[in-house]
Amino acid sequence: MDLLDEMQTRIVCGDGAIGTLLLDAGIPLDRCFEELCFTEPDRIQTIHQQYIAAGARVIETNSFGANAVRLERFGLERRVTEINRAAAQVAVKAARGKDVYVAGSVGPLGINGEGAKARGIDRGQCFREQISALLEGGVQIIFFETFTDFEEMEIALLAKKEIGAALEICSFSCTPEGRVSSGMPLIDAFSELREDGARIVALNCMSGPDMVQLLRRVPSGSAVAAYPSAGHPKYHEGRFVYPLAPDSFAQSAREMAAAGARLIGGCCGTNPKYIAAVAAAIADLETARKSP
């Protein structure tokens, strides 16, 4: 049974944020978090293990910004393959011997189509380079997350289709009203992605209540994932503080499950305590569903 099959029969728990834990551990905000997979693999492996211990069945690699465009800021644009392969291997090692799926995290490039054209950047090739390295490192799933532009998501998805048949999750962060940056309604974006072959569509990096309302509009029977943030952040004493407590976050998870989400994890501001709360809430919900 793969993740998609499992999502048809039960709700699956995902993991939470990595950046939150790294910042809490004192890693500077201007550091390349993805490079830590190569320079401090034990630190990243420990985070994966903490999420697995909390109940996560899907863990994501620490590779969100590990594409050539974003890595150029750190002078690491020529180390895309090395960093992504390391990110995959660290996560695979953490999951070894456990009933856990490993997903390769792929974020947007951080430039629009006009910017890419002006700089002579082939966006499809950027995604192919990163995805190839993640798959070589052993991931089972490619998780496109926090995309806001439909065109870029489609380029990334089609690049992945050229490389292999691994399962994909295509996740948008959109307006509370349900539109991506081009103005396209989220439901239309999901529909077109499915026509392109996307098997799981998703939302992430939004507050739970906003996400619940959007999930209720998604046609029933769809394979949908939800990774909300721990509320709207506020900047306090040099750091972002997320207001939603783990128990409130878990309640939102139950509401998302009722609205049709089949894979539920966490985004910004979450940590293993939040995921443990989600895992418990999902288990309780499933027990209730199975009761006569």
Cα 103 to Cα 4, 92, 243, 264: the distances in Å are 13, 9, 28, 14
pLDDT over threshold 90, residue 285: no
Specify the higher pLDDT residue, 286 or 170.
170
- In eight-state DSSP terms, residue 14 is B
> Is a pLDDT exceeding 70 seen at residue 287?
no
> 2 pLDDT exceeds 80?
yes
Supply the pLDDT for residue 290: 39
Average pLDDT across the chain, whole number: 94
CATH number (domain holding residue 275): 3.20.20.330
pLDDT in tens, 80-112: 999 999 999 999 999 999 999 999 999 999 999
Number of domains, the chain: 1
- What is the structure's pLDDT at 237? 67
Q: What is the pLDDT of residue 286?
A: 53
Q: Which domain holds residue 137?
A: 3-290
pLDDT digits (tens, 9 = 90+) for 249-270: 999 999 999 999 999 999 999 9
Q: DSSP string spanning 206-240?
A: EEHHHHHHHHTTSPTT--EEEEEESSS-EEETTEE
